[in-house]
Structure formats: C-alpha cells, structure tokens
Amino acid sequence: MLTSKQRAYLRGLANPLEAIVMVGKFGLGGEVAKQADDALTARELIKGKVLETSPVSAREAADALAGQLNADVVQVIGSKFVLYRQNLKEPKITLPKAGKKIYNK
C-alpha cells in the first residue's frame, strides 16, 4: 500500500507518460490484462486509457486491473488511470520512505 507521499511522487513521474494500455469496447479481456502485466513488469509505472466505447469506467478498469495484477492504483483522472507495481528482481523506481506515524496519548 502506498503512502500519500509515495503516491504524489509516482503521480509526478507518470505525468509525462503516454497511455500504453487501452480499454475498448470489449472491456477488460485477457489480452488487456496480459498487456498491462507485461508493461508493469518492464516499467513498474504505466498509464492507461478507457475509450468512450468501453463498458467500464476508468475507476472500474483501474481497480479491476490492480486487483488482477497485484498492483496499486496511483490515480484516476477522467478517462485515464495510472498503475504501479514494484519489480522485485530489477527495480527501476525508488520510492520515498514512508514516514513514521506519531500517536499522541
């Protein structure tokens, strides 16, 4: 699970990226999930787009793909979404450390 600081960092990295995963009129078929899985393994951070003809919304597509691929949804804006999954063998992105939580008693 990502902290808000890590999510903000990833949003900044995703800003210049082009959408490489397209969800069209056939929805989230096996080919879309395989394409997203391969892209996450290679890049760790991907941007996707849901076309107008798609039967699912961008939020539904992002949540479904994240669940299938064990990834985190970074953001959903309009018809676009960003997913992140760390590559444990060859990491390319170093996330900021999670801050310590301080509880007042």
How does pLDDT run along the chain (105 residues), one tens digit per residue? 889 999 999 999 999 999 999 999 988 888 999 999 999 999 999 999 999 999 999 999 999 999 999 999 999 999 999 999 999 888 899 888 876 665 555
Cβ-based burial of 68 (10 A; exposed 0-12, middle 13-18, buried ≥19): middle
Residue 58's pLDDT is 96
Residue 46's pLDDT is 97
**Residues 60, 40: Cα–Cα separation, whole Å:** 18
CATH label, 4-84, candidates 3.40.30.10, 3.40.190.10, 3.30.9.10, 3.30.110.60: 3.30.110.60
Q: Which residue has the tokens 């990295």?
A: 13
Q: Are 30 and 2 spatial neighbours (Cβ–Cβ below 8 Å)?
A: no
Strand-pair partners of 76: 81
Report the 10 Å Cβ neighbour count for 77.
9
CB burial string 1-10: b at 16+ within 10 A, e below: eeeeebbebb
Residue 102's pLDDT is 58
Q: Are 87 and 44 spatial neighbours (Cβ–Cβ below 8 Å)?
A: yes
